[in-house]
Amino acid sequence: MANAFKLTNLTKTFSEFQLGPLNLELEPGTVLGYIRPNGSGKTTTMHCMVGLVRSDGGEVEIFGRPNDLTKPPVFCWLALSFWE
């Protein structure tokens, strides 16, 4: 079975902030607490995962499928939910 999601060398750079490279895998049915200090890139990571923000590098897979930014955000067609 494919991972619920897989991040491989995910990077995103803003003027004074750099996220990554970040590698993370989560198996289906697993609960993850993504706890970090304010400004550490938690929301940016989630936005890159669902296609709301284009990453600068790396790959995002949701249930084994690449996140294609030319299609609607992944949470719409897979009914995934992310909470902060």
For 2-13, the pLDDT digits (tens) are 888 899 999 999
Span 56-78, average pLDDT: 72
Taking the C-alpha atoms of residue 54 and residue 71, their distance in angstroms, rounded to an integer, is 12
Which residues have C-beta within 8 Å of that of residue 71, sequence separation ≥ 6?
Answer: 51, 77
For 15-31, the pLDDT digits (tens) are 889 998 999 999 988 88
Q: Where are the beta strands (DSSP E) in 1-84?
A: 5-14, 17-26, 57-62, 65-66
Lowest mean pLDDT among 8-12, 45-49, 54-58, 68-72: 68-72
Span 60-78, average pLDDT: 69
Say if residue 21 is preceded by a cis peptide, omega within 30 of 0.
Answer: yes
